[in-house]
Structure 1
Amino acid sequence: MRKYIDCREVPSESHCTVAISADTERELEEAAVQHATAVHQHQDTPELRAMIRQAIHEGQPAA
């Protein structure tokens, strides 16, 4: 089953509405880390990656 992460679920000052999906958790984690570092200026840390892994859902993001 496809997996996704949705920035709308994480409170932020930018009110980001990006949702990212992929077939594997590893691919999704890498894409989400790239987004978090490039757009939200987070550092790529083990803590960030753990937070991202916990926010992964199965299925498709809500419209």
Structure 2
Amino acid sequence: MDSIELNKIMAAFVIAGAVFALAAVLGRTLVRSHAPEKPAFTIPAARPKPPIAALPAQ
């Protein structure tokens, strides 16, 4: 394999990585997420189970 061909292949990987990194930074900048001040709905809490020691022996 010629030296220049190897350089082209390596450059392709470096440029692809740079493009993906730039896309990630640009995506994080354009799409900002934030948590709402109050939840849209509440999930009812499950009733706590009693400890095993408090259960009657059978």
TM-based fold match above 0.5: no
More helix by share: 2
Q: How does the TM-score come out when normalised to structure 1?
A: 0.27
Of structures 1 and 2, the one scoring higher in RCO (CA 8 A, sep 6+) is 1
Larger radius of gyration: 2
